[in-house]
Amino acid sequence: MNSEPQLKRRRTEEPVGDQVVMHRSMLSRHSIVWKDMFKVPQPYEQNLVAGCPVIQLSDDEKDLEHVLGIFYDNLKGFDAENPISFPIVAAMIRLGHKYQLDYLRDMAVNILKSEYPSTLELWDEGFDRISRTCDDSYADIVSLASEFSLNTIRPCVYLMYVTKTSLSAVMSDPLLSREEVACCVLGRDKLVAWINSTYKSKHFTMAGRRQDCQNHEKCSPSRRMIFETFNLWEVEDGNITVFPTWNRPKSHTTCKACYRDLQTCYDEVRMSAWKMLPSFFGLPDWEDLKDFDM
């Protein structure tokens, strides 16, 4: 047996549960919390199994498996570009926060920030990108973001959740608190209402005559038709696509001046929707959102 003192993890008293042999030096190297704990004699030192002191941890078994696996599988080999399952990211944040494994916690937060950006430019960059974390766990992400006040990702996480989940599923989601459910339902409602009212208010402007229009007779109906196809919220085969970039409409044509005008209008509406996104979910403005603001 390794001469170095070793630790074992035991989940429960009866039955004994899983025990994992860990090196004290390895744990101390990664976490100041563990390092400090080992500096002073602890009651668990009396509780030996096969010569190793046993520490009982209250953490989730899977979380510990994920994080200790990263330690032993070499942290440097942990490729930040490869897909990673959300449970691993969540474990890095939960245990990283509890045991002050800041680099691990920050790495996980950065992965989530790249998936759920806080600027429209980054949103556009990742629009067609395949998610690095699994796509079917939005409620878990909402819950984690709320628990750890990962506020910079919350607007986007809420947006993705409410656009990929039916309203009835949101309202009965067992993973969310009543407050989270209320926040998501109200946010969805405010976003849709805002988009509808903005479109209506712009509609008449779009149908009107422009000074520089080269062919008003042809452009006027086309402008109106194109404007009506504007959609920040596209529903197709049950999937909702949010904030798509401007696509050149194929079925209606206008003069160049009108076309530019329509595109500008679309971009403006889209930008103001993004700016207001946090407020739909009851959050402060983008620039005032801070992570771990607990």
Please tell me whether residue 38 adopts helix, strand or coil conformation: helix
CB 209, CB 261: distance < 8 Å? no
> According to the binding rule CB under 5 A, does residue 255 interact with Zn ion?
yes
Q: Which stretch binds Zn ion (CB under 5 A): 21-29, 185-193, 210-218, 230-238?
A: 210-218
d(C-alpha 161, C-alpha 181), whole Å? 11
CB of 231 to Zn ion, least distance (A): 22
> According to the binding rule CB under 5 A, does residue 183 interact with Zn ion?
no
Tell me, what amino acid is at 110? Answer: N
CA atoms within 13 A on the CB side of 219: 20
Q: Which stretch binds Zn ion (CB under 5 A): 120-128, 225-233, 247-255, 272-280?
A: 247-255
- Pick the closer one to Zn ion by CB: 159 or 255: 255
CB of 214 to Zn ion, least distance (A): 6
- Pick the closer one to Zn ion by CB: 152 or 254: 254
- Pick the closer one to Zn ion by CB: 168 or 211: 211
> Mask 256-285, x = binds Zn ion (CB under 5 A)?
--x---------------------------
Exactly one of 213, 242, 269, 277 binds Zn ion (CB under 5 A); that residue is 213
Q: What angle separates helix 256-280 from helix 178-207, to the nearest 10 degrees?
A: 160
Look at the block and give the residue holding tokens 């520089």: 212
CB 86, CB 140: distance < 8 Å? yes
| Residues facing residue 23 across a β-bridge | 6
- Pick the closer one to Zn ion by CB: 31 or 220: 220
Q: Contacts with Zn ion: how many residues (CB under 5 A)?
A: 5
Q: Which stretch binds Zn ion (CB under 5 A): 46-54, 179-187, 207-215, 273-281?
A: 207-215
d(C-alpha 20, C-alpha 292), whole Å? 31
CB of 211 to Zn ion, least distance (A): 10
d(C-alpha 282, C-alpha 155), whole Å? 9
Number of neighbours of residue 293 by Cβ within 10 angstroms: 12
Q: Which stretch binds Zn ion (CB under 5 A): 63-71, 93-101, 197-205, 211-219?
A: 211-219
| Residues facing residue 59 across a β-bridge | none
Q: Which stretch binds Zn ion (CB under 5 A): 1-9, 80-88, 253-261, 280-288?
A: 253-261
Look at the block and give the residue holding tokens 């009851």: 282
Residues that bind Zn ion (CB under 5 A): 213, 219, 254-255, 258
